[in-house]
Amino acid sequence: MKYQGYYPRIILLIFLLACACIGYLTARDYGLSWDELGIYEYSEEMLTAYDKILHPWDFESQVSDPLLNLYGPSHFMLSTLFSKYVNEINKSWSIYQAHHLFYFLTFLMGLPALYFLCARWMREWAALGTVLLFATQPLFWGNAFINPKDIPFMVFFIISVYFSYVMVDSKSNSIWWKIIVAGVALGLTTSIRSFGLMAGAFAIFYGLRKDFYKTLKILLFYIFITVMTTYLSWPYLWSDPIHRFVESITTMSKHPVIFYTLFMGEIYLNNQLPFFYFPTFIALQFTIPVLTLIVVGLFVAFKFFLKDNSKEPMILLMAWFLIPTLVIGFSGSTMYDNARQLLFLTPPLFIIAGIGLDMILRNIKLTIFQVALVLIFISPAIHANIRLHPYQYIYYNELIGGVGGAFRKMDLDYSGTSFKEAIEYINENSEPTTQTFIIVGPRHLARIYIRPMLKETILGEVDAINPNGSEYYYVLLLTRTNSDMLFCTNGDIVYSIERDNGVLAYIKKIYSKEPCW
């Protein structure tokens, strides 16, 4: 059959369209995450900088959280432009909901790049299965709607690695436009997070191994395109590019904000976590079929490495995942929120899993059984996505007993997205004078969802409660770091947000004369 070789690509396209439709229908279900409002302020500030593009040294950021300047704004700005456009043509979409849709579309944009990257070392049917496993992981699917930093960075990192490999492999008559594409991709990745330069380092190392002199010829142009793209898309760098870029790298490698993190039932400062913090979440937050395929793939890839069939997958695994993970773990780098900032290190694990899947599929002769096996592998993820909606990112696998088993041992809704549902309950069940006291959680997000007449009753300080204001008040407590166990223990639980026996947040009713702390 003439077009049979394109079947995996056609199925991938259909899958992407189906996911885009699902994203459009469900994006409005997701609540705002903890950092989003500050990011939107930062994005607006960076967009105004282009009024001074002809004299960039005059621009100085006035954003309220200076730390945000050290994150590149390229994806934030694109998301802001998209969300304003969607809101303008369809007022039923709020700016925030449109942002969430854009984040998810960005996630989908990375899947073809992962597919073709995988196809370098496996048949395209196995590459398709790998992408299906990757895309349906609840950890990724849930974060794809609510995480404006880590998912876009992971996606652009994948895209940068893919296009840099294409650049190195290109024939000389078509290489220059591919250098431009690869350089722009790497520049935008670096303008999301300065560590994006790692993707360029992979390409250079691969190129020097493959064709030393050709790589040296294209290297300066590749670096030039990358530097110019990063500079133009990151206004904070304009007045002092070298010093400020170095500041970004040094500050982001040791996150300066210190707070508490729940890990394996113990409370740690986030700069004192054990070295196995990140690997633990890989073992507990990916589905069991993925973990199984990673183990199989490691054996196959290592065998290829020893026999010199293909060393590249193991080299990529070591450079992209193993070495950074060890350096971060043993250097005492600051981590938090289930190591979400390290999600960009996980794609090579799926490439290895894909190699394992390819080996298994090669030993199954009938196509119908191959399809059935892939469906079996992705079914736990799909089931979890439906069951946990819209909090898929809190997923834990059976090794810890699911979400219920992880409750009180690990943080669940560390981004505070459940406050949308909590405030919707309060909107429906409050009198005009009812006060709402946020003890644990993002008070600034609660103000977005509270009905107008209750907006002034959102409180954050104990002494702000008026004991004569009404006969009772509500207390909202996120279960992050088990802090909810310290306050209002005698209050009546009137509403809890739960998934799979894990509680994300409580609403308690406290009568005005009762002590709460």
- Answer yes or no: is 402 within a domain: no
Evaluate whether 415 touches 147 at the Cβ level (below 8 Å): yes
The one-character DSSP state at 438 is E
Residue 73 shares a structural domain with residue 177: yes
Q: What pLDDT, on a 0 to 100 scale, did the predictor assign at position 258? A: 84
Residue 200 shares a structural domain with residue 281: yes
User: Is residue 469 scored above 70 in pLDDT?
Assistant: no
Q: What pLDDT, on a 0 to 100 scale, did the predictor assign at position 257? A: 77
> How far from the centroid of its chain's Cα atoms is residue 292's Cα?
23
Q: What pLDDT, on a 0 to 100 scale, did the predictor assign at position 3? A: 55
Q: What pLDDT, on a 0 to 100 scale, did the predictor assign at position 466? A: 62
- Answer yes or no: is 406 within a domain: no
- Answer yes or no: is 403 within a domain: no
User: Rounded to whole angstroms, how far apart are CA atoms 191 and 75?
Assistant: 8
Residue 83 shares a structural domain with residue 215: yes
Q: What percent of the chain has pLDDT over 70?
A: 94
Q: Which of 393, 413, 438, 152 is nearest to 285 (CA)?
A: 393
Q: What pLDDT, on a 0 to 100 scale, did the predictor assign at position 463? A: 54
Residue 441 shares a structural domain with residue 331: no
The 10 Å CB-count burial string (b at 16+, else e) for 149-182 is bbbbbbbbbbbbbbbbbbbbebeeeebeebbbeb
Question: What confidence tier does 398 reach under pLDDT thresholds 50, 70, 90?
Answer: very high
Question: What confidence tier does 380 reach under pLDDT thresholds 50, 70, 90?
Answer: very high
Across the range 194-201, mean pLDDT stands at: 94
- Answer yes or no: is 263 within a domain: yes
Q: What pLDDT, on a 0 to 100 scale, did the predictor assign at position 1? A: 46
Across the range 479-493, mean pLDDT stands at: 89
- Answer yes or no: is 265 within a domain: yes
Q: What pLDDT, on a 0 to 100 scale, did the predictor assign at position 434? A: 76
Residue 379 shares a structural domain with residue 423: no
More confident residue, 154 or 486: 154
Residue 238 shares a structural domain with residue 279: yes
Residue 347 shares a structural domain with residue 470: no
Across the range 419-432, mean pLDDT stands at: 89
Give the model confidence (pLDDT) of 453-468 as tens digits. Answer: 666 666 555 555 665 6
User: Rounded to whole angstroms, how far apart are CA atoms 364 and 362?
Assistant: 6
Q: What pLDDT, on a 0 to 100 scale, did the predictor assign at position 263? A: 97
Give the model confidence (pLDDT) of 253-308 as tens digits. Answer: 777 778 899 999 999 998 899 999 999 999 999 999 999 999 999 999 999 888 86
Report field, pTM of the whole predicted structure over 0.85: yes
- Note down the domain range covering 436: 419-511
Q: What pLDDT, on a 0 to 100 scale, did the predictor assign at position 472? A: 77
Q: What pLDDT, on a 0 to 100 scale, did the predictor assign at position 447? A: 82
User: Rounded to whole angstroms, how far apart are CA atoms 325 and 346?
Assistant: 10
Residue 42 shares a structural domain with residue 87: yes
- Answer yes or no: is 412 within a domain: no
**Domain end marker among 372, 388, 404:** 388
127-141, 171-185, 297-311 — most confident range: 127-141
Give the model confidence (pLDDT) of 241-255 as tens digits. Answer: 999 999 999 888 777
Q: What pLDDT, on a 0 to 100 scale, did the predictor assign at position 459? A: 59
**Which of these ranges, 1-15, 141-155, 379-393, 479-493, has the smallest mean pLDDT?**
1-15
Q: What is the mean pLDDT of the chain?
A: 91
- Answer yes or no: is 334 within a domain: yes
Q: What pLDDT, on a 0 to 100 scale, did the predictor assign at position 465? A: 60
Residue 55, number of CB atoms within 10 A of its CB: 9
Residue 317 shares a structural domain with residue 452: no
Across the range 384-395, mean pLDDT stands at: 98
Residue 301 shares a structural domain with residue 449: no
User: Rounded to whole angstroms, how far apart are CA atoms 304 and 363?
Assistant: 17
Across the range 156-179, mean pLDDT stands at: 91
User: Rounded to whole angstroms, how far apart are CA atoms 290 and 5?
Assistant: 26
Question: What confidence tier does 515 reach under pLDDT thresholds 50, 70, 90?
Answer: low
Residue 370 shares a structural domain with residue 450: no
Q: What pLDDT, on a 0 to 100 scale, did the predictor assign at position 480? A: 94
What is the number of domains present in the chain? 2
Q: How far is CA 288 from each of CA 275, 284, 378, 396, 402, rounded to the nearest angstrom?
A: 23, 9, 10, 10, 11
User: Is residue 32 scored above 90 in pLDDT?
Assistant: yes
Q: What pLDDT, on a 0 to 100 scale, did the predictor assign at position 18? A: 98
User: Is residue 471 scored above 80 in pLDDT?
Assistant: no
Residue 20 shares a structural domain with residue 168: yes
In a 3-state reduction of DSSP, which class is residue 260? strand
Give the model confidence (pLDDT) of 77-88 as tens digits. Answer: 999 999 999 999
